[in-house]
Amino acid sequence: AIKVPMFPFHTWLPDAHVEAPTAGSVILAAVLLKMGTYGFLRFALPLFPDALERFLPLLSILALIGIIYGGLMALIQKDIKSLVAYSSVSHMGLIMLAVFSLNPEGVQGAIYQMLNHGLSTGALFLIVGILYERSHTRLIKDFGGVSSQMPVFSAFFLVCLLSSVGLPGLNGFVGEILCLFGIFKTSQLQAILAVSTVILAAAYLLWMYQRVMHGPITNEKIRSFKDMNKRELGYLVPIIIMMFWMGIYPQTFLRKMDASVSRLLDRVHNREKIFLQESGRSTSLKSDMAAERDSDRTANEVPSVLEEKR
């Protein structure tokens, strides 16, 4: 829960992102946060299904609070990097709520959204890093009219932003739809409240984009900004391609998840049957080992008896 991070264990994440360099923020968003969700999927759910069933209502409520709280906090941020960090809290809350739906659509959507979040949020941190290299500030009020000086950068920024919002045709849409559909099958009320992550994401990200990229140039330093160089294009273009690929051809990735998701949910929902099967296999194995020991003992005793008779 701390690693994800789930509410109320999220407080370390915004500070960590603000203080970390761009590379650190990208690794944190794209890889390290996913270790928490992977831990739930790989260990907590299959190993402790009874505990999960007992605490599932509480965990779902915490994930839902994280969705709404992260979005509302992002709305009031003045630092671009802090805004993206709180958006991660909201998106990871949606992922965890989908995991706790415990149905194929929800879990598959959660895994897919983990990949999407790594791409879109990692790309947004790279975008913020490009702005910071040129201006040495991340405060929204210090920008305005950047698109007039950096049109290519403006287009890349918009694609990454819309990916995070969940625009159809980009990767975020498929993951969010699957997550919401899985949540809806479990609880219609939770699904309705979870939709706020899409609405709030559109609100704070588009507001931030409008303030930073459009309007009059209020900071004279912006007039000296140069558009993206080859190095920056080199690491952003592959990410943009992946966003469109995952948004237009999601089955390329979803197909590979089917078997793993089915096994996981089968282990959670049919735990008693699986326990009895494993117990039966264990008993059979012990019987075979005991029979083998008796056979070895008999084989060793026969020569001894023959020797005594001689």
Per residue in 49-99, pLDDT (tens digit) is 788 888 888 888 998 998 898 888 888 888 888 898 888 888 888 999 998
Assigned domain for 22 exists: yes
Evaluate whether residue 134 is within a structural domain.
yes
CA dihedral sign, ordered 122, 107, 60, 200: positive
Q: For residue 140, give both structure tokens.
A: 């929204």
State the residue range of the domain holding 110: 12-269
**Other CB atoms within 10 A of residue 23 CB:** 11
| Whether residue 253 is found in the same domain as residue 283 | no
pTM over cut 0.85: no
Q: Are residues 178 and 286 in the same domain?
A: no
Q: Verify that 277 and 169 share a domain, yes or no.
A: no
Distance CA 128, CA 80 (A): 7
Residue 128 and residue 249 share a domain: yes
| Count of beta carbons in the 10 Å neighbourhood of residue 175 | 30
Whether residue 297 sits in one domain with residue 199: no
Claim to verify: residue 122 and residue 231 sit in the same structural domain: yes
> What would the pLDDT profile of 175-225 be if each residue is shown by its tens digit?
889 999 999 988 888 888 888 888 888 888 999 999 888 888 877 888 888
Provide φ and ψ at 139, rounded to 5°. Answer: -75, 130
Taking the C-alpha atoms of residue 73 and residue 7, their distance in angstroms, rounded to an integer, is 13
Looking at the structure, do residues 169 and 308 belong to the same domain, yes or no? no
Cβ 67 vs Cβ 80: under 8 Å: no
